[in-house]
Structure 1
Amino acid sequence: MPYYLFRRFVGMLVVILMVLTIAFVIVRLAPGDPAALMLGPEATVEDAAELRVRLGLDRPILIQYLSFAAAAFQGDLGTSIFFNQPVTSILAARAEPTIFLSLFSLTFALLIATPIGIYAAYRRGSFADQSAISIAMLAASVPSFWTGLMFQRYLATELGWFPAAGYGEPGADFLERMRHLILPSIVLGIVNSALILRFTRASMLDILGEDYIRTARSKGMGERRVVLRHALKNAAIPIITVIGLTFALLVSGAVVTERVFNIPGMGNLVVSAVLRRDYPVIQGTLIVVATLYVVINLITDLLYLLVDKRVKY
């Protein structure tokens, strides 16, 4: 186990270093002077030269890369051109809505996909099974922005069940902010439930055909116990894997939903940074998201030990 963790941490460092390199190269590959691109067409030559010195772009490329990587590993992701604040502070301020939106969306997806996937596998070939597959394909095919707009119109505007957009007024309490995340979480939960449903069904189908399941039934064990205690427990590893991947995708891929519902999260921040050419924010977000990916993958692998004691590292 310690050796496995050591290898995983080394692999995480390698991945993060590769992401750092890509983020560093992206800015340098942009046509023209990076400093002039960041400042926009109205900037003067003197402004571009000042920013080039402030960002260290006047130094040799190798020194720039080493300084950038060393600062990133120390938690310094640079300073935003637009906000004139450290990128880490900006990302920390925008992390709350994105993290809670991802958690709520994953919860809704699990509430939808897990029971339907289990029941569809149990009733393989039935009308309920075919309906579940069709609904999953439909949920995966419909764009999230269209679902969000429809929900905004009918559930928020016409029925008034949820706030239509935003993250609460300035100074709103925690519960009020979370209330604004319910509708976008439902939208993302529906879209991302399709993959979890299909994996749950496929994994349960594999286990329900095993000999020990037939043996348990032949001994008179109740169907609920057979399905939930024996089959689901042994089918949990693929399900946990897809849940971990879904959560990582939600954290990094809620851009469209955050724009539709005007949620001040990390996705909305990245879109604004691209439009403003705020490259330090883009670089910092890329590094943070990549780090979240590798951490979530590690946590997912460690969760295997909780559901299956046979797993050895």
Structure 2
Amino acid sequence: MIRYILKRLFGMIIVMFLVVTIVFVIVRVTPGDPAAVMLGPDATPQDIADLRSRLGLDQSILQQYVLYIGQMLQGNLGQSIFLNIPVTTALAQRAEPTFFLTMFSLILAAVIALPVGIYAAYRRGSFIDQASTVVAMTAASVPSFWLGLILIQVFAVRFGIFPVSGYGGPGASFWVRLQHLVLPAVSLGVVSSALILRFTRAAMLDVFNDDYIRTARAKGLAEGRVVLKHALKNALIPILTVLGLTAAVLVAGAVVTETVFALPGVGSLVVSAVLRRDYPVIQGALLVIAGLYVLINFAIDMLYLLVDPRVRY
């Protein structure tokens, strides 16, 4: 088991190093000069050159990369060019909306997909099974931003049940902020539930065909116990996998949804940083998102140890 954990930790380090390198190179080769964007169209070439020198952008890519790696190893993600605050501070200020949006979306997706997927597999070939498959395929093909716009038009503009956008004022209560998160969480959760539903159904169908399920039924065990204790327990590996992947995708996919609903989260911060060519913020945000992605997958790998004893050996 220790060897299994060490292998996963070593893989995490390699992945993060590759992510840091790729993001750094892509950001630097993208057209656009942050110094020119900051100074505006009336700036002279000398003004732009002076600002580039002050920001360290006149150095070679290799020099900038070595400097960035050294700062990152010390826990310093740099200083935002436009916000003029540390990147870690900017990310911390925007973390709350993204965290709650991701958590609520994942909970909603799981609440919808898991019971429906289990029941659809149990009633294979029935109307419920076929209808759930059609609905899942439809939901998977719907862009979350389009669904978000429809929800805004219906529940915010026409009926006025939920706020159109934003996250409440600086002193808003948790209940007010929760109301602002309902529509974006639904738009993300419904779309994400399609993948979870299909994987849950497929995993349960594979288990229902195994011999020990027939043996449990032959012993006269109640159907609820057969489905939940025997079948579901042995189908948890692929279900946990898709839940972890969905959580990671939601963290990265919140960028567009936060923009549609004007949520002041990490996603909107990344969009504004890309438009302004704010290199440190782009690199820091993508590094944090990639880190969360890797940590979520590592947590799922650890859950494998609890769900399936064979993994320990």
Under a length normalisation based on structure 2, what TM-score does the superposition of the two structures give?
A: 0.94
Identity %: 64
Q: Which shifted more, 279-288 or 126-135?
A: 279-288
Q: How does 1:193-212 map to 2 (within 5 A)?
A: 193-212=193-212
- SS at 1:311 equivalent: helix
Equivalenced residues, count: 313
How far apart, CA to CA, are the structure 1 residues paired with 2:131 and 2:271? 37
Q: How does 1:56-67 map to 2 (within 5 A)?
A: 56-67=56-67
- Letter of the 2:65 partner, please give it: Y
Aligned equivalent of 2:118: 118
- Letter of the 1:299 partner, please give it: A
Residues 296 and 47 of structure 1: is their aligned pair in 2 closer, same or farther, counting only changes over 3 Å?
Answer: farther
Aligned equivalent of 1:103: 103
How far apart, CA to CA, are the structure 2 residues paired with 1:198 and 1:186? 19
Residues 43 and 18 of structure 1: is their aligned pair in 2 closer, same or farther, counting only changes over 3 Å?
Answer: farther
Q: Which shifted more, 280-289 or 134-143?
A: 280-289
**1:269 Cα shift?**
1.2
Aligned equivalent of 1:227: 227
- Say whether the 8 Å CA contact 2:34–2:277 is kept in structure 1: no
Per-residue displacement from partner, 1:96-121 (whole Å, max 9, x unpaired)? 10111000000000010000000100
**1:204 Cα shift?**
0.1
Aligned equivalent of 1:312: 312
Per-residue displacement from partner, 1:201-260 (whole Å, max 9, x unpaired)? 000000011000001001110111100111001000100000000000001111221111
Q: Which shifted more, 143-152 or 120-129?
A: 143-152
Aligned equivalent of 2:243: 243
Under a length normalisation based on structure 1, what TM-score does the superposition of the two structures give?
A: 0.94
**1:60 Cα shift?**
4.5
How far apart, CA to CA, are the structure 2 residues paired with 1:150 and 1:30? 34
**1:37 Cα shift?**
5.3
Residues 45 and 112 of structure 1: is their aligned pair in 2 closer, same or farther, counting only changes over 3 Å?
Answer: same
- SS at 1:181 equivalent: helix
- Letter of the 1:225 partner, please give it: R
How far apart, CA to CA, are the structure 2 residues paired with 1:61 and 1:134? 50
- Letter of the 2:69 partner, please give it: A
How far apart, CA to CA, are the structure 1 residues paired with 2:23 and 2:41? 23
How far apart, CA to CA, are the structure 1 residues paired with 2:171 and 2:123? 50
**1:157 Cα shift?**
2.5
**1:40 Cα shift?**
4.7
- Letter of the 2:102 partner, please give it: S
RMSD between aligned residues: 1.8
How far apart, CA to CA, are the structure 2 residues paired with 1:200 and 1:136? 12
Structure 2 gaps of 5+ residues are: none
Structure 1 gaps of 5+ residues are: none
**1:76 Cα shift?**
1.4
Aligned equivalent of 2:179: 179
- Say whether the 8 Å CA contact 1:27–1:34 is kept in structure 2: no
How far apart, CA to CA, are the structure 2 residues paired with 1:208 and 1:4? 30
